[in-house]
Amino acid sequence: MALLQIAEPGQSAAPHEHRLAAGIDLGTTNSLVATVRSGRAETLPDEQGNHLLPSVVRYTDEGVVVGEAARRAATSDPLNTIASAKRLIGRGVGDIKSLGDGLPYEFVEQESAVPRIRTRAGDLSPVEVSAEILRVLASRAEATLGGELSGVVITVPAYFDDAQRQATKDAARLAGLRVFRLLNEPTAAAVAYGLDREADGIHAIYDLGGGTFDISILRLHKGVFEVMATGGDSALGGDDFDRMVAQWIMDQAGIADDAGHVTLRTLMQQAREAKEALTEAGSVALTVELPGGGQWRGELDRDTFDELVDPLIRKTIGACRRALRDAGITAGEVREVVMVGGSTRVPRVRERVGEFFGRPVLADIDPDRVVAVGAAIQADVLAGNKPEDELLLLDVIPLSLGLETMGGLVEKIIPRNTTIPVARAQEFTTFKDGQTAMAVHVVQGERELVADCRSLARFELRGIPPMVAGAARIRVTFRVDADGLLNVEAEELSRGVKAEVTVKPSYGLTDDEIAGMLRASFEHAEEDMAARQLAESRVEGERVIEALRAALAADGDELLNAGERDRIDAALEKLVAAVAGDDPRAIEREMKQVEKTCEFYVERRMNTSIRQAMAGKRLDEF
Amino acid sequence: MAITLTEAAADRVRAFLANRGKGIGVRLGVKTSGCSGMAYVIEFVDELEENDEVFEDHGVKLVVDRKSLVYLDGTEVDYGKEGLNEGFKFSNPNAKAACGCGESFSV
């Protein structure tokens, strides 16, 4: 007997055609899968009732083990147990070296830019390791839903660049999953609270996990979440809270810092339990076995705990303040503050963050699960289980995309903050007579000159039929898919020759770099305008020179006497000199001069061509 | 003519409705499709339609259109678990044959 779920009015699926979808929070430490059933989004437990799947993969002789069992083996079998695939995914070998915090793996030295980890099961890329985690979560979802998934939404940090996003998608594909789309983690948390269905406004997502802290400022505008700023500390989290408590116990109990490994680990575990107990209780009793024998008994109350962790919370508040400044807003402009990550269960964290933003924080949804829940809601909409009028959540591109035109200028095709997916086309033409190829240089950025933007890709369109300059029509189409990946296609319209490129930059931009590029575009606005004027004048000047030289070569000797020719040549030379200089007004002046000097020549050419056209024809033929 | 809910099913419907934040009850129905003739429909109800009959069981409003009622009369809806999966089950005395998965039936 089939087990049925309640559908939205009019959205019942035909038998065997249920549009099953899941949201996956692929985390650094733990991963989760969630789905919407009978209108309710929930994370799904495994057979033992555990919702969290430790993001650890172990390769054994018997096969691949994912989750808790793998995590437990991390110390005994470190080389074959991969615990930080998310920190490696989409990164180059150079990036990994710069992570430099003693990753316990053996990296394979090789030509390719993708790092590979040497394990018992062969040399594996972080993409393959992540695929194992996704496979386990997907099969949990399929067992729970009783059918095959039509697609998934996977969350990624807001600061993930194109390469990291592409690698995450590759991992999903390897796991046999169709990715509806990737969703930013803070956006998913906002969706879980239904903020996407509320009025436009600015929200802060405070994400304090076990080992990392992220703050994201999002602006909802016409149904689109735009990431205004991100910040945080990649080495600050709940583990640091535990360390503070453990240190306090050591001070109280007189345990030396160089106590054995086992003692310290036991203490960390006890500290963690004490911290968790203090979420509900006002104080917690502690009994610690001393390394030299005997016991220490004590009590940790909430006030003392708060004092211990306050310096850590202050650090996160500092990061919040910086993020607000980057976004150019004040704390008072933030409408909702969403709590994400297990460490936001600590009451003191909620209190201090609430004080900073001047409003109570949103913490009703389990902060460990809120990201997966938001992803599941989005997946449900994308699978087509909601009526059409439900808003589809969109993302925006952070920097304008364009291409290089003559003179090293940037022609923006898709301006920044355009919602994706998007496709925009623009027509271009040839610059020289008989030009048969065109170089397309794709750039990203807000500045007017190519040199100041970031180069994404270059390709050439060949096989343009020879025509006079300006006659060819070349349509260049920019497409950005829902995951922010760019495809550029150039097509010559008369003959239909095409060339295209998909941009998968191996190193993307960090949010700081994006912010820096935006700042530069404002700071250099005037300079850029002057540069654009100069470049445009040069292009125009060169076009005039090109055209005049072509004309002179064609009929200059027939139509001009020596004196006339000298005058034109002199004007032309002055223009050539002006174009080589950097004063746009001089170029304009010399262009005008050339035009004036050549007026009679242009007239003669026109008359000649009319005579040629009329030769041998009767009047009534016109 | 009547359609009933088990207490377990009623509890779930109430919880799902509360979570959804709107809706007056749950619609039960059939539509002609599926591998064995008829397929069950279970949906939230925001508005009643002209030909709807409304039953109430365990405090939950059950909405059935008259055409479906012919096929569903006497049906009991339960909520159950099978391994990790869980959901609503229809026990329909009118169904003569069901397809292997139970998503559709014939009379």
Distance of residue A11 Cα from the nearest chain B Cα, in angstroms: 8
Looking at residue A56, what is its pLDDT?
Answer: 93
Quote the tokens at residue A403: 């291409």
The pLDDT confidence band at residue A370, using thresholds 50, 70 and 90, is: very high
Nearest in space to A216 (alpha carbons), one of A183, A167, A172: A183
Looking at residue A175, what is its pLDDT?
Answer: 92
Contact assignment for A2 to B103 by CB distance below 8 Å:
yes
Q: Pick the residue with more confidence: A530 or A347?
A: A347
Does the CB of B43 have a partner CB in chain A at under 8 Å? yes
| pLDDT reading at A145 higher than 50 | yes
Which residue blocks in A278-406 are alpha helix, DSSP H?
302-327, 347-357, 370-382
Contact assignment for B45 to A3 by CB distance below 8 Å:
no
Residue type, A491: E
Distance of residue A376 Cα from the nearest chain B Cα, in angstroms: 15
Report helix angle A238-253 to A302-327, nearest 10.
Answer: 150
Asked if B85 and A144 count as a contact pair (C-beta separation under 8 A), the reply is yes
The pLDDT confidence band at residue B73, using thresholds 50, 70 and 90, is: confident
- In terms of C-beta density within 10 A (0-12 exposed, 13-18 middle, 19 or more buried), how is residue A469 classed? middle
- Whether A86 sits among the annotated catalytic residues: the reply is yes
Q: Pick the residue with more confidence: B78 or A510?
A: B78
Q: CA-to-CA distance for A244 and A58, rounded, in angstroms? A: 31
Above pLDDT 70, what percent of chain A?
89
Highest mean pLDDT among A229-238, A239-248, A380-389, A527-536: A239-248
For residue A43, list chain B residues with Cβ-Cβ distance below 8 A.
Answer: none
Q: Which among B16, B26, B101 is the nearest to A2, CB-wise? A: B101
Q: Which among B35, B43, B101 is the nearest to A6, CB-wise? A: B43
For residue B14, list chain A residues with Cβ-Cβ distance below 8 A.
Answer: none
- Whether A207 sits among the annotated catalytic residues: the reply is yes
- Whether A25 sits among the annotated catalytic residues: the reply is yes
Per DSSP, A494 falls in state T
| pLDDT tens figures, A36-84 | 988 889 999 998 999 999 999 999 988 899 999 998 888 788 888 888 7
Nearest Cα residue in chain B from A194: B20
Quote the tokens at residue A295: 């016991």
Does the CB of A48 have a partner CB in chain B at under 8 Å? no
Looking at residue A510, what is its pLDDT?
Answer: 54
For residue B90, list chain A residues with Cβ-Cβ distance below 8 A.
Answer: 1, 4
- On average, the pLDDT of chain A sits at 85
Q: Pick the residue with more confidence: A150 or A116?
A: A150
Interface mutation target, options A3, A17, A43, A198, chain B, most CBs of B under 10 Å: A3
Asked if B24 and B46 count as a contact pair (C-beta separation under 8 A), the reply is yes
Helices (H) and strands (E) in chain A, counts: 16, 27
Whether the CA torsion A47, A48, A49, A54 is positive or negative: it is negative
Contacts with B, A 117-146, CB within 8 Å:
140, 143-146
3 state DSSP class of A157: coil
The CATH fold of domain B4-106: Hypothetical Protein Aq_1857; Chain: A; (2.60.300)
How big is chain A, counted in residues? 622
Nearest Cα residue in chain B from A38: B16
Does the CB of A38 have a partner CB in chain B at under 8 Å? yes
Does the CB of B64 have a partner CB in chain A at under 8 Å? no
Instruction: Identify the helix (H) or strand (E) that includes residue A117.
Output: strand A117-119
Nearest in space to B78 (alpha carbons), one of B1, B8, B25, B30: B8
What does A444-468 look like in DSSP terms, one character per residue? ESS-SBGGGSEEEEEEEEE-PPP--
Asked if B54 and B68 count as a contact pair (C-beta separation under 8 A), the reply is no
Quote the tokens at residue A158: 């807001």
Above pLDDT 90, what percent of chain A?
33
Contact assignment for B39 to A14 by CB distance below 8 Å:
yes
* A–B CB contacts, 8 A cutoff, strictly below: 93
Does the CB of A2 have a partner CB in chain B at under 8 Å? yes
Q: In angstroms, what CA-CA distances link A407 with A438, A525, A579? A: 14, 18, 11
Looking at residue B102, what is its pLDDT?
Answer: 59
Other CB atoms closer than 10 Å to residue A80's CB: what's the count?
Answer: 23
Measured at the alpha carbon of residue A51, what is the angle toward residues A211 and A179, in degrees to the nearest 5?
85
Across the beta sheet with A474-480, what order do the strands follow?
A422-428, A474-480, A486-492, A498-503
Catalytic entry in A162, A170, A207, A489: A207
Distance of residue A85 Cα from the nearest chain B Cα, in angstroms: 28
pLDDT, average across residues A250-270? 85
Q: CA-to-CA distance for A268 and A291, rounded, in angstroms? A: 14
pLDDT, average across residues A15-26? 82
Looking at residue A371, what is its pLDDT?
Answer: 97
Does the CB of A609 have a partner CB in chain B at under 8 Å? no
| pLDDT reading at A200 higher than 80 | yes
Interface mutation target, options A4, A33, A193, A380, chain B, most CBs of B under 10 Å: A4
Q: Pick the residue with more confidence: A245 or A605?
A: A245
| pLDDT reading at A121 higher than 70 | yes
Contact assignment for B83 to A2 by CB distance below 8 Å:
no
Catalytic entry in A86, A169, A275, A412: A86
Q: CA-to-CA distance for A220 and A203, rounded, in angstroms? A: 8
Looking at residue A42, what is its pLDDT?
Answer: 92
pLDDT, average across residues B1-11? 88
Distance of residue A399 Cα from the nearest chain B Cα, in angstroms: 38
Asked if A190 and A218 count as a contact pair (C-beta separation under 8 A), the reply is yes
Looking at residue A522, what is its pLDDT?
Answer: 66
- CA A617 to chain CA mean position, Å: 66
Instruction: Write down the domain spans for chain B.
Output: 4-106
Contact assignment for B44 to A8 by CB distance below 8 Å:
yes
Contact assignment for A2 to B26 by CB distance below 8 Å:
no
Per DSSP, A5 falls in state -
Nearest in space to A326 (alpha carbons), one of A522, A524, A512: A512
Asked if A537 and A586 count as a contact pair (C-beta separation under 8 A), the reply is no
Asked if A129 and A82 count as a contact pair (C-beta separation under 8 A), the reply is yes
For residue A8, list chain B residues with Cβ-Cβ distance below 8 A.
Answer: 43-44
Contact assignment for A6 to B42 by CB distance below 8 Å:
yes
Task: State the ipTM, two decimals.
Answer: 0.84
Looking at residue A390, what is its pLDDT?
Answer: 53
- In terms of C-beta density within 10 A (0-12 exposed, 13-18 middle, 19 or more buried), how is residue A173 classed? middle
Contacts with B, A 143-182, CB within 8 Å:
143-146
- In terms of C-beta density within 10 A (0-12 exposed, 13-18 middle, 19 or more buried), how is residue A62 classed? exposed
Looking at residue A256, what is its pLDDT?
Answer: 83
Asked if A246 and A266 count as a contact pair (C-beta separation under 8 A), the reply is no
Q: Pick the residue with more confidence: A580 or B98?
A: A580
**Region class of A472: left (phi > 0), else alpha (psi between -120 and 50), else beta:** beta
Instruction: Identify the helix (H) or strand (E) that includes residue A336.
Output: strand A334-340
| pLDDT reading at A546 higher than 80 | yes
Looking at residue A516, what is its pLDDT?
Answer: 66
3 state DSSP class of A61: coil
Specify the range with the lowest mean pLDDT, choosing from A218-232, A343-357, A556-570, B11-25: A218-232
pLDDT, average across residues A408-425? 80
Does the CB of A1 have a partner CB in chain B at under 8 Å? yes
| pLDDT reading at A417 higher than 80 | no
| pLDDT reading at A102 higher than 80 | no
Interface mutation target, options A37, A38, A139, chain B, most CBs of B under 10 Å: A38
- Whether A169 sits among the annotated catalytic residues: the reply is no
For residue A16, list chain B residues with Cβ-Cβ distance below 8 A.
Answer: 34-35, 101, 103
Looking at residue A172, what is its pLDDT?
Answer: 93
What does A526-566 look like in DSSP terms, one character per residue? HHHHHHHHHHHHHHHHHHHHHHHHHHIIIIIHHH--HHHHH
Record the pTM: 0.65
| pLDDT reading at A203 higher than 90 | yes
Q: In angstroms, what CA-CA distances link B103 with A3, A10, A16, A37, A140? A: 8, 17, 8, 17, 22
| pLDDT reading at A449 higher than 60 | yes
Asked if B51 and B65 count as a contact pair (C-beta separation under 8 A), the reply is yes
Q: CA-to-CA distance for A167 and A151, rounded, in angstroms? A: 17
Backbone torsions φ then ψ of A257, nearest 5 degrees: -60, -30
Contact assignment for A14 to B34 by CB distance below 8 Å:
yes
Residue partners of B46: CB distance under 8 A and separation at least 6: A9, B22, B23, B24
Looking at residue A506, what is its pLDDT?
Answer: 35
| pLDDT reading at A261 higher than 90 | no
Nearest Cα residue in chain A from B84: A144
Residue partners of A62: CB distance under 8 A and separation at least 6: none
pLDDT, average across residues A480-505? 79
Looking at residue A294, what is its pLDDT?
Answer: 85
Quote the tokens at residue A551: 């004309």
Q: CA-to-CA distance for A148 and A221, rounded, in angstroms? A: 35
Measured at the alpha carbon of residue A217, what is the angle toward residues A212 and A222, in degrees to the nearest 5?
140
Q: CA-to-CA distance for A71 and A78, rounded, in angstroms? A: 10
| pLDDT tens figures, B42-59 | 999 998 888 888 988 898
Looking at residue A617, what is its pLDDT?
Answer: 63
| pLDDT reading at B100 higher than 70 | no
Does the CB of A12 have a partner CB in chain B at under 8 Å? yes
